[in-house]
């Protein structure tokens, strides 16, 4: 008799567990990391799961390339994660879920993420809330201060021009025998920081792409000449083909680069990897003929339309976007906040070293100096078509395959052809 | 006098004998019934059917889908959502002033890929055949530690192409092993993977290094099939070694050589992974191959132009089909011989 009771209790227990398991909704997040943000978000999500037993969050940490190349194909086939951390905000926008009907407080999102929401909206939609910026990035230079000190050369000041920096970096590199005076990521974002500062307008009066103008040509010529003069080494821009991204992280942390034009997302990584090996600082965006600006950008966490559990997705997004959680995320990952409220209050990056804190301040201060053209380009749905065409063709000119004039013609035709292809219905 | 009775199975074979016999008995009845129904000759097709279905699903169906994609445009993934554009993608690919000058082509990257692939294939196949032949001939001689050397030459074939490329990248980069050697001898660093001519040389070199063992094996098998008495007769006649090679070895090895050449040609045209990792198609587009172009057009660019990539794949497929026909023709001649 007693054994029968045991059996019943076991059966009841098992059915309860099974029931609970069945009631649990799984939300998958595809996440790439530049630094330690994967670990941070993983911690935060554990807390979310503890508070929300009905939702299981699976964090798939994937390489950057998987986000830029595999995810769009997955999404186009109607598959993919429920949430993804993406950089091609405009390209992914058409697969994004409008969270507005599922959010408890949509006004919170409008207030705190307002200027960035259009970056993630599908074309023609001016209301949707599809995600938030996991960080706001600003492109700009990171400088090896120790190399300047060893060379006994003064670092250019706040309003220094690109020429001033190139001259100083070359002098330092010659003196200390560093192979990379200036290194710039092989990336459209980095190039257009320079181009906009040189006066590139990118769009015509109707808002259509008109990439090649005097400002663009000045920037392209500068990058071309820097390669000829040895200010930039060919290993980055001249070593791969097409739209391939190539960074100089390894070279910078090995103290081979005097000035590295990259951006704010590198801070956490260099704080950890460089450590005490040498002193590095972030410098304000160098000035071109027209402005002293970098490019804004960042990675957005976007809800995906194909999800089967929009309510659960909204709950996860609300949790991650909430002020205390997001503050902790930004503070621990050393990111410039993409949340206006947090940015206004200021963040205490208490785990950061003094040099990382100083670099974060420099980049945060740059946000106010960003050119409207740079914002417009960042918000343009086809911006990566422009970025890719520019680096691919300028790269060819640098490696001696074509002339810059030929590259300009090809950039214009590449952009036109790819936008036409995208618009074919 | 040998017994007609089959030998009783031993060891492991005995373990499987009973279940196999049971399986055969289970299959026997339906097969016999089917054979009675459709006749003995048609049974052959029944056995071919499963494989045909498998190939159909995983080879021929994707091939057909690819051709369908090549006549559509836009960026949607499902064919039903893609607009029909006819031969537009092909017209775009073939819009050239001169096919010998990629700069005159609207889609210059495709033609740069074609030119690079052709150049790479010519150099790589020539080097591959030459080195494989020499290596096979040497490894066929009675030299000490012959087995060891055969294993050493075959070893790279077992490695993943990505491992091969990463290893060589480590050797060839600015601060790589080779430059460390050069600078320690007082020389200047050479940017092997940044200079276009060096980059092409090294991708050919690495490719030959990685795949030579496979072709050496084919040629070695051919060399071992040459009857030894021919060499003995030549030796008795005091024929010079070069003449023996020219008049006996090479003609009898020729069918294997044809197989090696055609296989190397097909593989050369399909080259992608090693070059992708080693040079990323650069510097500029100096080592951009056709397959890399297709990959980039379909997946890397923001506008994933599946239609154009599919059209380029069809063009590549036609070239590979022609090479395969050449291999079949060579194979049939070998069979006839």
CB contact under 8 A, A422 and B74: yes
Mean pLDDT, residues A106-121: 93
Distance CA A159, CA A84 (A): 38
Q: Tokens at residue A79, please?
A: 């598959």
Question: Higher confidence at residue A415 or residue B337?
Answer: A415
Residue A352 pLDDT > 90, yes or no?
A: no
Q: At B337, is the pLDDT very low, low, confident or very high (cuts 50, 70, 90)?
A: very low
The secondary structure of A276-295 as a DSSP string is TSS-EEE-PPPB-SS-----
Q: Give A158's contacts (C-beta < 8 A, 6+ positions apart).
A: A284
Mean pLDDT, residues B34-54: 90
Query: A120-140: per-residue pLDDT in tens?
Result: 998 888 899 999 999 889 999
- Residue B285's region, left for phi above 0, alpha for psi from -120 to 50, else beta, is alpha
Mean of pLDDT over chain A: 91
- Chain B residue numbers touching A235 (CB-CB < 8 A): 174, 191, 194
The DSSP symbol for A232 reads S
Query: B62-100: per-residue pLDDT in tens?
Result: 999 999 999 999 988 888 889 999 999 999 999 999 888
The DSSP symbol for A209 reads B
* Residue A310: Cβ within 10 Å count: 17
Interface with B, mutate which of A75, A188, A227, A242 (most B CBs under 10 A): A242
Q: Give A353's contacts (C-beta < 8 A, 6+ positions apart).
A: A271
In order of A165, A172, A234, A260, A402, the CA distances from A180 in angstroms are 13, 10, 9, 9, 24
Distance CA B268, CA A15 (A): 60
Q: Tokens at residue B309, please?
A: 């990539």
Q: Tokens at residue B112, please?
A: 């740069």
Nearest to B282 among A77, A399, A424 (CB): A399
Mean of pLDDT over chain B: 90
CB contact under 8 A, B108 and A421: no
pLDDT of residue B2: 47
Query: A95-106: per-residue pLDDT in tens?
Result: 999 999 999 999
Q: At A368, is the pLDDT very low, low, confident or very high (cuts 50, 70, 90)?
A: confident
The ipTM value here is 0.83
Give me the percent of chain A exceeding a pLDDT of 90. Answer: 74
Query: B253-309: per-residue pLDDT in tens?
Result: 998 998 899 899 999 999 999 999 999 998 999 999 999 999 999 988 778 899 999
Distance from CA of A314 to the nearest CA of B (A): 27
Interface with A, mutate which of B283, B288, B291, B293 (most A CBs under 10 A): B283
Q: Tokens at residue B335, please?
A: 């069979």
- What ranges make up the beta strands (E) of A95-130? none
Query: B304-322: per-residue pLDDT in tens?
Result: 899 999 999 999 999 989 8
- Chain B residue numbers touching A417 (CB-CB < 8 A): 92
Mean pLDDT, residues A275-295: 95
- Chain B residue numbers touching A410 (CB-CB < 8 A): 108
Distance from CA of A86 to the nearest CA of B (A): 13
CB contact under 8 A, A235 and B194: yes
pLDDT of residue B300: 82
CB contact under 8 A, B304 and A179: no
* DSSP-derived 3-state class of residue A262: strand
Q: Tokens at residue B267, please?
A: 């593989």
Residue A403 pLDDT > 60, yes or no?
A: yes
Q: At A1, is the pLDDT very low, low, confident or very high (cuts 50, 70, 90)?
A: very low
> What length is written for chain A?
425
Query: A308-351: per-residue pLDDT in tens?
Result: 999 999 999 999 999 999 999 999 999 988 999 998 888 888 88
Give the number of C-alpha atoms closer than 13 A to the C-alpha of residue A323, restricted to the C-beta side. 13
Residue B223 pLDDT > 90, yes or no?
A: yes
In order of A132, B1, B15, B23, B26, the CA distances from B8 in angstroms are 74, 18, 12, 19, 22
Query: B45-68: per-residue pLDDT in tens?
Result: 988 999 999 989 999 999 999 999
Longest dimension (CA), chain A: 93
Q: Tokens at residue A245, please?
A: 């991204």
Distance CA A5, CA A405 (A): 87
Residue A2 pLDDT > 60, yes or no?
A: no
Give me the percent of chain B exceeding a pLDDT of 70. Answer: 95
Mean pLDDT, residues B103-132: 94
The DSSP symbol for A399 reads T
Q: At A19, is the pLDDT very low, low, confident or very high (cuts 50, 70, 90)?
A: low
């Amino acid at each position: 008799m007693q054994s029968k009771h045991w059996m019943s209790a076991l059966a009841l227990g098992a059915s309860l567990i099974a029931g609970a398991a069945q009631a649990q909704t799984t939300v998958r997040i595809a996440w790439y990391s530049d630094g330690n943000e994967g670990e941070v978000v993983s911690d935060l999500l554990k807390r979310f799961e503890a508070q929300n037993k009905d939702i299981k969050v699976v964090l798939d940490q994937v390489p950057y390339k998987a986000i830029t190349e595999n995810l769009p194909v997955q999404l186009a086939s109607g598959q993919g994660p429920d949430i993804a951390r993406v950089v091609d905000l405009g390209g992914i926008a058409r697969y994004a879920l409008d969270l507005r009907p599922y959010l408890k407080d949509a006004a919170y999102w409008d207030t705190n993420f307002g200027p960035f929401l259009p970056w993630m909206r599908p074309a023609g939609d001016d209301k949707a809330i599809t995600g938030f910026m996991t960080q706001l990035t600003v492109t700009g230079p990171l400088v090896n201060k120790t190399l300047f000190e060893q060379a006994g050369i003064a670092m250019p000041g706040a309003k220094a021009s690109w020429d001033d920096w190139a001259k100083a970096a070359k002098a330092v590199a010659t003196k200390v025998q560093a192979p990379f005076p200036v290194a710039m990521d092989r990336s459209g974002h980095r190039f257009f920081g320079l181009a906009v500062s040189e006066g590139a307008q990118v769009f015509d009066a109707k808002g259509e792409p008109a990439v090649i103008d005097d400002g663009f040509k000045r920037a392209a010529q500068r990058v071309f000449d820097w390669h000829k003069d040895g200010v930039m080494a060919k290993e980055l821009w001249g070593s791969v083909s097409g739209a391939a991204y190539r960074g100089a992280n390894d070279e910078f942390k090995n103290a081979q680069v005097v000035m590295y034009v990259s951006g704010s997302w590198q801070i956490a990584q260099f704080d950890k990897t460089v450590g005490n090996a040498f002193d590095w600082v972030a410098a304000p965006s160098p000035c071109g003929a027209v402005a002293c600006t970098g490019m804004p950008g960042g990675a957005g966490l976007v809800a995906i339309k194909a999800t089967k559990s929009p309510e659960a997705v909204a709950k996860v997004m609300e949790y991650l976007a909430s002020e205390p959680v997001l503050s902790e995320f930004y503070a621990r990952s050393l990111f410039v906040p993409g949340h206006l409220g947090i940015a206004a209050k200021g963040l205490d990056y208490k785990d950061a070293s003094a040099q990382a804190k100083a670099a974060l301040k420099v980049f945060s201060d740059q946000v106010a100096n960003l050119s409207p053209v740079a914002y417009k380009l960042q918000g343009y749905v086809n911006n990566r078509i422009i970025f890719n065409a520019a680096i691919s063709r300028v790269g060819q000119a640098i490696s001696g395959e074509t002339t810059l004039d030929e590259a300009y013609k090809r950039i214009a035709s590449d952009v036109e052809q790819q936008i036409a292809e995208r618009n074919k219905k | 006098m040998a017994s007609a009775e089959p030998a009783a199975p031993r060891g492991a074979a005995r373990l499987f004998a009973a279940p196999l016999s049971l399986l055969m008995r289970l299959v026997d009845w339906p097969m016999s019934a089917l054979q009675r129904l459709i006749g003995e000759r048609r049974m052959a097709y029944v056995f071919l059917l499963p494989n045909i279905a498998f190939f159909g699903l995983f080879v021929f169906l994707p091939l057909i889908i690819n051709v369908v994609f090549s006549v559509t445009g836009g960026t949607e993934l499902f064919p039903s959502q893609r607009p029909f554009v006819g031969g537009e993608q092909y017209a775009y690919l073939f819009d050239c002033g001169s096919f010998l000058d990629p700069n005159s082509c609207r889609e210059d990257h495709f033609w740069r890929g074609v030119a690079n692939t052709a150049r790479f294939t010519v150099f790589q196949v020539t080097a591959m055949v030459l080195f494989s032949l020499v290596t096979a001939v040497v490894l066929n001689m009675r030299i000490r530690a012959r087995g060891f050397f055969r294993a050493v030459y075959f070893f790279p074939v077992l490695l993943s192409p990505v491992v091969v490329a990463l290893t060589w990248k480590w050797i060839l980069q600015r601060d790589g092993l080779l430059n460390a050697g050069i600078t320690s001898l007082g020389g200047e660093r050479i940017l092997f993977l940044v200079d276009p001519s060096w980059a092409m040389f090294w991708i050919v070199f690495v490719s030959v290094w990685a795949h030579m063992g496979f072709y050496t094996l084919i040629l070695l098998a051919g060399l071992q099939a040459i009857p030894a008495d021919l060499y003995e007769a030549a030796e008795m006649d005091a024929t010079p070694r070069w003449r023996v090679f020219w008049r006996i070895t090479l003609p009898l090895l020729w069918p294997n050589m044809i197989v090696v050449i055609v296989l190397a040609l097909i593989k050369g045209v399909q080259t992608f992974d090693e070059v992708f990792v080693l040079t990323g198609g650069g510097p500029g587009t100096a080592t951009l191959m056709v397959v890399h172009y297709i990959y980039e057009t379909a997946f890397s660019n923001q506008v994933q132009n599946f239609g154009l990539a599919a059209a380029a794949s069809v063009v590549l497929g036609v070239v590979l089909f022609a090479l395969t026909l050449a291999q079949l023709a060579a194979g049939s001649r070998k069979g006839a011989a």
